[in-house]
Amino acid sequence: MKSILHQSLDRTGTDSVKWDGLDRWFHLKDDVLPLWVADIDIRTAPSISEALTARAATGEFGYTLFSRDAQAAVSSWYERRHKLKVDADHVLFSNGVVPGLTHIVEALTEEGDGIVIQSPVYPPFHELVTGLKRELLDAPLRQSDGRYEMDFDVLEIQMRKAKLFLLCSPHNPVGRVWTEVELKQVVDWHVVMTSS
């Protein structure tokens, strides 16, 4: 018998974006594989389901502070995994990656500032930059030997005009996990970004 973590889920008929959205949005039937969205088809780890079940069983759903324990857990994970000291008070809550990115762009840049992205990239990266009236500076990835790579020449030109760089890691949709060499190059170049 497969361990519970390796059981796939049949999510049809559960208002699943990936499977039921096929019909609702695209009027397609089930002979199509919905590879357009990175939605999950494997069961969540039992420890997570159990913690959620126990929390729901309290019947208490009032407004809740972001818990100190959660802040400390994230900070401790960064220290153990990356030897990086992150002040627990600096760990903030966001109800998704895109709202989090939006807050970062609003906090660190002004209207008209340049922000670098690397297309093709998850569409909200484009939308949140233009929606917040920042200048979208694209440094498109290039294909080499059947895989996408950073185009460092273009990236340097764009970073010289930019205030912020939105790194997508691992990169959606090209499926790259950036190498240490690539990431070091990006970090080295942050000094060329405009700071005023």
Ligand X SMILES: Cc1ncc(COP(=O)(O)O)c(C=O)c1O
Judge contact between 22 and 29, C-beta under 8 A: yes
Q: Which is nearer to ligand X, 138 or 160 (CB)?
A: 138
Radius of gyration, CA atoms only, the chain:
21
Using CB under 6 A as the binding rule, whether residue 122 contacts ligand X is answered as: yes
| 172 vs 185, beta carbon nearer ligand X | 172
96 binds ligand X (CB under 6 A): yes
Instruction: Please identify, among the stretches 23-31, 43-51, 72-80, 92-100, the one whose residues bind ligand X according to the rule CB under 6 A.
Output: 92-100
Kindly tell me which of 17 and 157 has the beta carbon lying closer to ligand X: 17
Contact (Cβ atoms closer than 8 angstroms) between residue 105 and residue 115 = yes
Q: Is 65 helix (H, G, I), strand (E, B) or coil?
A: coil
98 binds ligand X (CB under 6 A): yes
Give burial (CB, 10 Å; 0-12/13-18/19+) of 80: exposed
Taking the complex as a whole, the smallest distance from the CB of residue 136 to ligand X amounts, in Å, to: 16
Q: Which residue is nearest to ligand X (CB)?
A: 96
Q: Which stretch binds ligand X (CB under 6 A): 19-27, 94-102, 137-145, 186-194?
A: 94-102
Site string for ligand X, 5-44 (x = CB under 6 A): ---------------------------------x------
CB of 116 to ligand X, least distance (A): 15
What gap in Å lies between CA 101 and CA 128, rounded to an integer?
8
Strand, helix or coil at 34? coil
Measured from the Cβ of residue 94, the count of other Cβ atoms closer than 10 Å reads 13
Strands 114-117, 164-165: pairing kind: parallel
The residues of the shown chain that bind ligand X, judged by CB under 6 A, are: 38, 96-98, 122, 168, 172
